[in-house]
Structure 1
Amino acid sequence: MPYRAPSGDIQFILDHVVPLAPVSGTARFSEATPDLAEAILTQAAKLCDTVLAPVQRNGDLTPARLVDGVVRTSPGYPEAFDAIREGGWVSVCAPAEHGGMGLPQCLNMAIHDMMSGACLSLQLSPLMTQGQIEALDHHAADELKALYLPKLISGEWAGTMNLTEAQAGSDVGALRTKAEPKGDGTYAITGQKIFISWGDSDLTSNICHLVLARLPGAAAGTKGISLFMVPKFIPDADGNPGEANAVKVVSLEHKMGLHGSPTCVMAYKGATGWMVGEEGRGMAAMFTMMNNARLGVAMQGIGVAEAACQAATEYAAERQQFGAIIGHADVRRMLAGMRADVFAARAIALSCAQAIDMGSATEDADWVARAAFLTPIAKAFGTETGMRVSETAMQVHGGMGFIEETGVAQFYRDVRVTAIYEGTNGIQAMDLVGRKLSDGGEAAYRILEEIEAGAEAARAALPELAEEVWAAAETLREATEWMVGQAPTDRQAGATAYLRAFARVLGAHFHLRAATADEGRQALAAFYIRRTLPQHAADLAEARDGADTVFALSPEALGL
């Protein structure tokens, strides 16, 4: 079944559930009018349906390959990327002073939702470049901005981020890559990085690497890390790709999925680099890029879930087993659960994007805190939804889901890594109960007040559903109070369950909003609130159990 970009569902959310209106009402984003938003979503949907979706299987069946030191991409990828570049889709939220559109993340993330459903492997390239654009815009010197930003924003050049090393994954502070001052304002970068998405390709004329490295005598851990721009080709006097830098692709990883996206092992041997930001502040600069990418990865999970849901529904309507299987209660249960979760995850992610936009436009501390609080929830729940829905889509297909020719297994294989990269979902959960509750739970309580107010407003029209949502918010409030008062180890032991519960309650809140705005959405809201929301109670029971039952199991008891 051909993929159909869900522009209508996204438009509904931006109109009625997570409104774009407050964002477009700010001076910064005043150009993001309803007419412009609709036009952008329509054109992006057309790109996804007609250009990106047709090359989805190419990436899986004919992976990227390393030929004579250069990565050659899958058939159709160069032409599809040309369409992305020529349409200006890399530039959506980039600064206008360097050639970008300067539009809100709400619209940019909606586009990434659709692109991910169409072709996740290819979507990853512009997502990485956009993250680099944001990092440079916030941290680079004006000279670097003037040289790199216009090329990145136009899509003429592409960007990557280089954090991970074999011995330094989540513990970034253990990295060994070195940066030696050359005395002319540049640095010699030496080391090896792994897991570099789109570390090389034939899509653009230059690849710009942001590399974390340590200066001589720098402090141990993350405090001694600086960030450097290391291009594949050193720009000449005219700003065009010049001589080759001392950086190369050692190999490509053989992966479970995302075969069309080259994941590179990169070697730097005295490569010329320029410092981005202040010495020893590399992680702060890189986190600007990572936070952008984390919401983008949430959209990846949601986009793939959408594509998998579409495929499963179409198959269920056509597959005959005692009649079309879509008429069987258990199949209908699976399809309804998939669709309800996709809506919930999408609304949560767009709510996070809305908070980012409002925070940047108004500099209001509450909006900034809301965006920070929602980011780990959006990332973890969005990617878990991608995995869960993709797995269920295989189940709906039965034996044919296990057969590669149907393409259904690709959804699961491609989306599985989203729960791992850009900070594993476990790290997202620990961040939520750690840094994000360090304000005493104030950001969480403001969201819970919003949920309860929404439930109160819905009581007249949908009393039973409203009561369920209100009660769930109260239970979550009690769990949040417990979390705030616990030692770090006890909070961390229940972090994943707490994050999942928070997402469930948020999802119910947004379903209730949708149901009050459109009678046609009441059935899906009722399914979610009656069948899925109750899971939050079990999650919160786990979250509040503490660490004793976790650490009571010795390594030997675990099978070591």
Structure 2
Amino acid sequence: MSYRAPVSEMMFTLRHVAGLDGAGAVSVEDADAILTEAGRLAGDVLAPLNRVGDRHGATLSNGVVTMAPGFAAAYKTFVAGGWNGLTADPDHGGQGLPQVLDAACTEMWNGANLAFGLCPLLTAGGIEALAAHGSEDLKARYLGKLVSGEWTATMNLTEPQAGSDLAALRTRAEPAGDGSYRIVGSKIYITYGAHDMADNVVHLVLARLKDAPSGTRGISLFLVPKVLPDGSENDLRCSGLEHKLGIHASPTCSMAFGDRGGATGWLVGEENRGLACMFTMMNNARLGVGLQGVGVAEAATQRALAYARERRQGKAAGSAEASPIVAHPDVQRMLLTMKAYTAAARGICYLTAAALDAAEGPEGKAALDRASLLTPVAKAFSTDIANEVASLGVQVHGGMGFVEETGAAQAMRDARILGIYEGTNGIQAIDLTGRKLPLNDGATVRAQIAAMRRVAESLLKAADSDLGHAPARLRAGIEALDQATSHQLASLRSNRPEAALAGATPYLRLFGLAQGAACLAREALASRAALKAGETDPAHAGRIALARFFAENLLPATEGLAQVVIDGGGFLDDAGAVLTG
């Protein structure tokens, strides 16, 4: 089965979770039309190449990277449709549409074809970093072609010895005397560092100037294009392609800069302030990776559900003949888990994108702080569930899931990278606990919990047999989050960061479960209102049932997670005895 974008569910989440009401830059009708057309591109053009890309991969020969068959043509179609610059400033050729609408499109590109979706994802981050920090000359020279998609962008952070520790970077930069710099060094894990889909690749490269301060305070950011403004080739090359578990069609490059004396680059932002510039790009990418998780989970769920409806095995209760496996309770449990996790993660990601949009309006800093709080949750929770959902997809397929024929195995292989790149999920948990919870002395997270409580109270007022124990479970899950939050903040304030960090990962999972349940509850409330108003769409009953399933079957984990956060840090005293030797 090929991927089909769930446009109606996306629109429902946009309206009733993210708050898209047509009062902003795009009407509900226009948003629906845009997503319908995007879904057509995703399903008809990108999805058919997903398996092709997995089998063929990208290849490197004589220094040239060639994409899998069909990818270059698909990229031209993508660019011709104007999809690359949805949110970019119209002054640079963009369409100026809301982030939340682009979030839904990003989910589609990556649900259809994760390896393809990585290219525009990285370019979007490059556009944002250059727009925020680049000189007027650099913007004039590069932004238009990046926004159109005629050129693509990368970010070059990681080096063989550095990994996630950017303080250990060794790539160096020296002024050339003409306003440019000479860049010498090597980078690894550079997504789309070289390919044949565009004429130019614009690399954003972290490097150190001579006599720069040590650590991350001495890092600068440089724009280093493959093709220089005079049309000549820059002194850089792809020195190798990684052979990976998944996303085979996405070229993951080792890049060499300065074999012939130094690649030409230009400073972005201020000297020794490159990390702040790069974080603009990384924060954009982190929400994007969360949306990749939603897309992969959606595709895996679609595939598993289609298989379960067709595959007959065993006799369900009351059946005299072999039944479709979707009729068996344990298969139903797995499929509902897949659907519920995917819908919850979608809600969190769209909520984060909506906060980014709100930051451009009257809410300003409060909305930006909310987006900052939600971003690590959107990235880590969504990619964790992508791995879990893809694994369940293999299980639903049984033995056929373990072979490559069905595509279930590819989803599991592809999903595995999502919790690693753009900051591992452990780093996201550290960021959430160490940097985001203390925002405004804890007021930002308290406001978010209060918003969840308001949803829970509305659910309690609407309590009916179709909601089961959902209202009580939601309230209990939010209380568990509140208690764990108090513990984390108290640990940070009493100068015991190790106690807070010991519970950082279970805390992020707890936050994701509670926030995801609140998102599904909002959808359930909207669906109940629609049914009472006389609407007959069967999807409304499905959303109510899914919210109840999540609250009764997945949300109870929050109370156990709170106990782990509060009481589980004792392993710090014992870890040495277990892990040494």
TM range (shorter): over 0.9
Letter in 1 for 2:236: V
Letter in 2 for 1:453: R
CA positional deviation for 1:253: 0.4
1:256 alignment counterpart? 245
Deviations 1:226-281 (A, max 9, x none): 00000001012xxxxx0000000000001000000000000001000000000111
Q: Does 1:201 align with 2:223?
A: no
Instruction: Determine which of 490, 494, 500 is the counterpart of 2:499.
Output: 490
CA positional deviation for 1:558: 2.8
Distance (Å, rounded) in 2 between the aligned partners of 1:180 and 1:448: 49
Q: Does 1:557 align with 2:578?
A: yes
Identity %: 49
Distance (Å, rounded) in 2 between the aligned partners of 1:246 and 1:462: 66
Please tell me whether the aligned partners of residues 337 and 528 of structure 1 are also in contact (alpha carbons under 8 angstroms): yes
Distance (Å, rounded) in 1 between the aligned partners of 2:48 and 2:368: 39
2:533 alignment counterpart? none
Q: Does 1:477 align with 2:470?
A: no
1:97 alignment counterpart? 91
Q: Does 1:113 align with 2:111?
A: no
CA positional deviation for 1:462: 2.1
Please tell me whether the aligned partners of residues 491 and 546 of structure 1 are also in contact (alpha carbons under 8 angstroms): no
CA positional deviation for 1:6: 1.2
Please tell me whether the aligned partners of residues 197 and 264 of structure 1 are also in contact (alpha carbons under 8 angstroms): yes
Could you tell me which runs of 5 or more consecutive residues in structure 1 were left unpaired when the two chains were aligned: 237-241
The residue matched to 1:233 in structure 2 has which SS?
A: coil
The residue matched to 1:553 in structure 2 has which SS?
A: helix
Letter in 2 for 1:304: V
Distance (Å, rounded) in 1 between the aligned partners of 2:162 and 2:457: 49
2:156 alignment counterpart? 162
1:226 alignment counterpart? 220
Deviations 1:104-139 (A, max 9, x none): 110111001011110000000001001000000000
Distance (Å, rounded) in 2 between the aligned partners of 1:364 and 1:356: 9
Distance (Å, rounded) in 2 between the aligned partners of 1:98 and 1:112: 20
Q: Does 1:9 align with 2:30?
A: no
Letter in 2 for 1:187: Y
CA positional deviation for 1:458: 2.2
The residue matched to 1:360 in structure 2 has which SS?
A: coil
TM-score by length of 1: 0.96
CA positional deviation for 1:17: 2.2
Please tell me whether the aligned partners of residues 441 and 480 of structure 1 are also in contact (alpha carbons under 8 angstroms): no
Q: Does 1:548 align with 2:570?
A: yes
Instruction: Determine which of 282, 288, 293 is the counterpart of 2:285.
Output: 293
Q: Does 1:407 align with 2:407?
A: yes
Letter in 2 for 1:225: I
Letter in 2 for 1:259: H
Please tell me whether the aligned partners of residues 193 and 255 of structure 2 are also in contact (alpha carbons under 8 angstroms): yes
CA positional deviation for 1:538: 1.1
Q: Does 1:465 align with 2:470?
A: yes
Instruction: Determine which of 298, 309, 316 is the counterpart of 2:301.
Output: 309
CA positional deviation for 1:180: 0.7
Deviations 1:193-236 (A, max 9, x none): 00000000000000000000000000001110000000001012
Letter in 2 for 1:558: L
TM-score by length of 2: 0.93
Please tell me whether the aligned partners of residues 462 and 516 of structure 1 are also in contact (alpha carbons under 8 angstroms): no
Distance (Å, rounded) in 2 between the aligned partners of 1:472 and 1:3: 33
Deviations 1:343-380 (A, max 9, x none): 00000000000001101233622111100000000000
2:351 alignment counterpart? 351
Please tell me whether the aligned partners of residues 162 and 211 of structure 1 are also in contact (alpha carbons under 8 angstroms): yes
Distance 1:369 1:43, change over 3 A: same
The residue matched to 1:545 in structure 2 has which SS?
A: helix
- For residues 261-340 of structure 1, what are the structure 2 equivalents within 5 Å? 261-269=250-258, 270-322=262-314, 323-340=323-340
1:72 alignment counterpart? 66
CA positional deviation for 1:7: 1.1
Please tell me whether the aligned partners of residues 54 and 249 of structure 2 are also in contact (alpha carbons under 8 angstroms): yes
Distance (Å, rounded) in 1 between the aligned partners of 2:130 and 2:326: 50
Distance (Å, rounded) in 1 between the aligned partners of 2:164 and 2:363: 30
The residue matched to 2:185 in structure 1 has which SS?
A: strand
Distance (Å, rounded) in 1 between the aligned partners of 2:121 and 2:520: 28
Deviations 1:312-332 (A, max 9, x none): 001011111121111111000
CA positional deviation for 1:415: 1.2
Greater shift in the superposed pair: 505-514 or 293-302: 505-514
2:531 alignment counterpart? none
The residue matched to 1:459 in structure 2 has which SS?
A: helix
Q: What's the C-alpha RMSD, in Å, of the aligned pairs?
A: 1.1
Instruction: Determine which of 508, 528, 531 is the counterpart of 1:499.
Output: 508
Distance (Å, rounded) in 2 between the aligned partners of 1:466 and 1:33: 32
Letter in 1 for 2:544: Q
Q: Does 1:442 align with 2:443?
A: yes
Distance (Å, rounded) in 1 between the aligned partners of 2:229 and 2:52: 33
Could you tell me which runs of 5 or more consecutive residues in structure 2 were left unpaired when the two chains were aligned: 315-322, 529-540
The residue matched to 1:478 in structure 2 has which SS?
A: helix
The residue matched to 2:578 in structure 1 has which SS?
A: coil
Letter in 1 for 2:69: P
1:398 alignment counterpart? 398
Distance (Å, rounded) in 2 between the aligned partners of 1:261 and 1:276: 27
The residue matched to 1:485 in structure 2 has which SS?
A: helix
Distance (Å, rounded) in 2 between the aligned partners of 1:403 and 1:218: 52
Please tell me whether the aligned partners of residues 441 and 481 of structure 1 are also in contact (alpha carbons under 8 angstroms): no
Distance (Å, rounded) in 2 between the aligned partners of 1:545 and 1:493: 10
Letter in 2 for 1:512: A
CA positional deviation for 1:478: 1.6
Letter in 2 for 1:534: P
Letter in 2 for 1:51: V
Please tell me whether the aligned partners of residues 17 and 350 of structure 2 are also in contact (alpha carbons under 8 angstroms): no
Letter in 1 for 2:111: G
1:239 alignment counterpart? none
Letter in 1 for 2:367: W
Distance (Å, rounded) in 1 between the aligned partners of 2:554 and 2:354: 25
Distance (Å, rounded) in 1 between the aligned partners of 2:183 and 2:566: 47
Please tell me whether the aligned partners of residues 230 and 273 of structure 1 are also in contact (alpha carbons under 8 angstroms): yes
Letter in 2 for 1:462: A
Distance (Å, rounded) in 1 between the aligned partners of 2:515 and 2:422: 23
Please tell me whether the aligned partners of residues 304 and 393 of structure 2 are also in contact (alpha carbons under 8 angstroms): yes
Letter in 2 for 1:497: P
Distance (Å, rounded) in 2 between the aligned partners of 1:83 and 1:144: 27
Greater shift in the superposed pair: 457-466 or 492-501: 457-466
Deviations 1:273-316 (A, max 9, x none): 00000011100000000000000000001100000000000101
Distance (Å, rounded) in 2 between the aligned partners of 1:14 and 1:553: 45
Distance (Å, rounded) in 2 between the aligned partners of 1:278 and 1:360: 24
2:518 alignment counterpart? 509
CA positional deviation for 1:417: 0.5
The residue matched to 1:351 in structure 2 has which SS?
A: helix
Q: Does 1:60 align with 2:61?
A: no
Distance (Å, rounded) in 1 between the aligned partners of 2:201 and 2:573: 46
Distance (Å, rounded) in 2 between the aligned partners of 1:494 and 1:149: 42
Please tell me whether the aligned partners of residues 52 and 80 of structure 1 are also in contact (alpha carbons under 8 angstroms): yes
Distance (Å, rounded) in 2 between the aligned partners of 1:127 and 1:168: 24
CA positional deviation for 1:559: 6.3
Greater shift in the superposed pair: 216-225 or 474-483: 474-483
1:83 alignment counterpart? 77
Letter in 1 for 2:285: A
| Count, aligned residues | 548
Please tell me whether the aligned partners of residues 498 and 540 of structure 1 are also in contact (alpha carbons under 8 angstroms): yes
The residue matched to 2:163 in structure 1 has which SS?
A: coil
